[in-house]
Amino acid sequence: MPQKKGPKGLRAKVISEIRATQQQASPSDIAVNDAEQPCSFKFNSMPPPPYSHSTALLSKQTIDTCVEFYFGNMPTTAWILNEHSLREMITCRIASDAEVYCLAASLCAFVMVQPGMSLAVGPGSHYKGEPPEHRYGYANMILDEISRIRKNIDYVGAPTVNSIHISFFLFSCYFTLEKQNVCWYHLREAATLAQIMGMHDESSYANGDDVENMYKRRMYWLLFVTERAYCLERHRPLTLQPTIELPAPQDIGETEVMNGFLYLISLFRCIDDEFMALWNKSKKRASAAWLSELQQQLTDALPPELKTTEGQAADVRITFHWLRVMVWQLSIASGALSSTSNNVSMTFKYPIDVASDMIRDIEALSKQSMEVHGIGLIEKLFDVACTLTDVISCVPLGPSADGSRSSTELLDRYLKLISQLRGGSSRYLPLLLAKVSETIPTITPPAEALRMSITQGYAGAADKISNTVQYTSSTEIGTVRASLLPQTHRPYGSYSPSTSASEVNLTPQSVVTPPMYSGPAGLGAQTQPLPPRSRPSMAGAAQR
């Protein structure tokens, strides 16, 4: 019996919906009015040679919606592009310039994959938040289209800034889609193209248009920060170095946003080749003095008060505390910690202080200011929470003398926070709950220090764990929280799914329940195991 050809399943359903809704749209919805625009282009007409793209895939409305959303809601990267120039370039050149089409398409895909997004992506179409099958399916088709068209562009032999933007957006898309090999390829591709263009050389900015050079400089530093964060989490080698002058705001309206990015640059300049050689184990142990100095450099990298937007402040503060924990992880791997050290950053309990500091800073921020940064920020919270879990399980902890939260209350706060952030419940909350279940079988702290097993970069290590591991109900999540807190003191409400757009649904389909551990009052345990995790034992955990 002959088999059907062409797209099947969800992919066929989504493309059929797109075609149907665009065929029903009026001409005014899908064409540019010649009288209003300097350049005329019908988005649903076949473009002339030398390239062609699927006219059923991207409409004018889709592109306009995504561009508007990008500049209105994603300030952490929007300053690498000029909105007016981008819109004009798309209107005038998308029909004849394959690279402009790929830039518009990659930006649209980038917007589509943002956790919890709900926006119109075509005439009469609406692809909603969780579960994200429609948006992700649509984004994957756009990404496939970009890959096909880029094969006919000589962007390696003659790269442009647009070439780098496309590669960066592709990296960001595949990162959110958890295709780590592909996203790493495109991040390295973007860095390589930047070096081919000489963007790492300050002398390359002496000639050419000043505005274009300004955006090139911004793009280089964004790649610098992005590469360091990704390489640190997933043990990759560095390519880009801080060899050019820092970016500057174009006008006073950009000052706050640019300040936030300058703070990030200042933090990541502390993570140099020496650190990465130790982190990636191409160099042996670091001294306690060097590690202590690095912790101080991180503290000195930021002013006491951040003069930036709330969204940028969220990214800066969480990144700062995450880096403190990363340096501590390197300290334990180097055998540099001691329970009797006068420097708190060189003790086994330091992650508890860092986790407390982070929660204090987060409580002053809105949830929206954190959600705008997507999965990357949730990974940092996950890293800190996993490290805190290991410390609770291995280090004797006395009662808090200053009335601050106990370590288990802190961990409970991270569980609640990750469950509430868009994108957090679908992957990192189940992994954190499973981590707590296997690491802390009882709320009774150990009487003496135990041998501590630390993973350098928990989120990166979690890439190898099946994404089908998810919890099915708020009741099971509450069971873990109940076991963390005394029965008479539960400062936070139990987790519950919300129907509002800003919350996540904790009842996905086709789930596998990770193990639960028994808490007080004889709470029952689930028995289905997780895939094993590789966690090398670090030799420096013994007391000195």
Average pLDDT over residues 473-501: 39
Does 340 map to a domain? yes
Directed axis angle between helix 180-196 and helix 161-176, to 10°? 160
Q: Which amino acid is residue 171, in one-letter code? A: F
Q: Please state, in angstroms and as integers, the Cα–Cα distance from residue 55 to each residue in 94, 223, 445, following that order.
A: 12, 32, 62
Backbone φ and ψ for 469, nearest 5 degrees, come out as: -80, 105
Task: Give 537's strand partners.
Answer: 453
Backbone φ and ψ for 157, nearest 5 degrees, come out as: -70, -30
On whether both 289 and 165 belong to a single domain, the answer is no
**Structural Rg of the chain based on CA atoms:** 25
Does 172 map to a domain? yes
pLDDT at 306 exceeding the cut of 70: yes
On whether both 291 and 393 belong to a single domain, the answer is yes
Lowest mean pLDDT among 12-26, 42-56, 57-71, 138-152: 12-26
Q: Domain end: 197, 213, 235, which one?
A: 197
pLDDT at 10 exceeding the cut of 60: no
**What confidence tens digit (pLDDT) does each residue in 81-139 have?**
999 999 999 999 999 999 999 999 999 999 988 876 666 554 444 444 334 457 788 89
Q: Domain end: 390, 410, 445, which one?
A: 445
pLDDT recorded at residue 76: 80
Does 328 map to a domain? yes
**What confidence tens digit (pLDDT) does each residue in 191-218 have?**
999 999 999 999 999 999 999 999 999 9
Average pLDDT over residues 454-465: 62
On whether both 291 and 188 belong to a single domain, the answer is no
pLDDT recorded at residue 60: 87
Position 253 confidence tier, pLDDT thresholds 50, 70, 90: confident
Lowest mean pLDDT among 37-41, 454-458, 486-490: 486-490
- Burial class of 335 by CB neighbour count within 10 A (0 to 12, 13 to 18, 19+): middle
- Burial class of 305 by CB neighbour count within 10 A (0 to 12, 13 to 18, 19+): exposed
On whether both 291 and 406 belong to a single domain, the answer is yes
pLDDT recorded at residue 372: 87
pLDDT recorded at residue 154: 96
Residues 6+ apart with CB under 8 A from 268: 224, 225, 228, 229
- As a whole number of angstroms, the distance between CA 380 and CA 370 comes to 11
Q: What percent of the chain has pLDDT over 90?
A: 51
3-state secondary structure 239-281: CCCCCCCCCCCCCHHHHHHHHHHHHHHHHHCCCCHHHHHHHCC
Per-chain mean pLDDT for the chain: 76
Domain extent for 321: 285-445
pLDDT recorded at residue 35: 36
Q: Please state, in angstroms and as integers, the Cα–Cα distance from residue 340 to each residue in 9, 221, 324, 337, 346, following that order.
A: 61, 40, 20, 9, 9
pLDDT recorded at residue 135: 79
- As a whole number of angstroms, the distance between CA 446 and CA 543 comes to 14
pLDDT recorded at residue 464: 56
Q: Domain end: 197, 229, 245, which one?
A: 197
* Tally of structural domains, the chain: 2
pLDDT recorded at residue 74: 85
Does 532 map to a domain? no
Does 473 map to a domain? no
- As a whole number of angstroms, the distance between CA 394 and CA 201 comes to 48
**End-to-end CA separation in angstroms for the chain:** 73
pLDDT at 255 exceeding the cut of 90: yes
**What confidence tens digit (pLDDT) does each residue in 394-445 have?**
876 655 544 456 888 899 999 999 998 887 777 889 999 988 888 876 554 4
- As a whole number of angstroms, the distance between CA 429 and CA 470 comes to 8
Which residue's structure tokens are 């890959």? 147
pLDDT recorded at residue 68: 92
- As a whole number of angstroms, the distance between CA 232 and CA 212 comes to 30
Position 273 confidence tier, pLDDT thresholds 50, 70, 90: very high
DSSP 68: H
- As a whole number of angstroms, the distance between CA 323 and CA 341 comes to 21
Does 24 map to a domain? no
CB hemisphere CA count around 229 (13 angstroms): 26
Does 474 map to a domain? no
Does 149 map to a domain? yes
- Supply angle C-alpha 300, 306, 310, rounded to 5: 140
Of 9 and 325, which is predicted with more confidence? 325
pLDDT recorded at residue 120: 54
199-210 in b/e form (b: 16+ CB < 10 A) is bbeeebbeeeee
pLDDT recorded at residue 536: 33
pLDDT at 39 exceeding the cut of 80: no
- Listed as own residue / partner, the contacts of 69-74 with beta carbons closer than 8 Å and 24 or more positions apart are 69/111, 69/117, 69/119, 70/107, 70/110, 70/111, 73/372, 74/111, 74/114, 74/372
pLDDT at 495 exceeding the cut of 50: no
On whether both 293 and 431 belong to a single domain, the answer is yes
pLDDT recorded at residue 438: 85
Contact of 407 with 391, CB cutoff 8 Å? yes
Sign of CA dihedral 176, 180, 186, 192: positive
Contact of 433 with 469, CB cutoff 8 Å? no
Of 308 and 489, which is predicted with more confidence? 308
Of 280 and 398, which is predicted with more confidence? 280
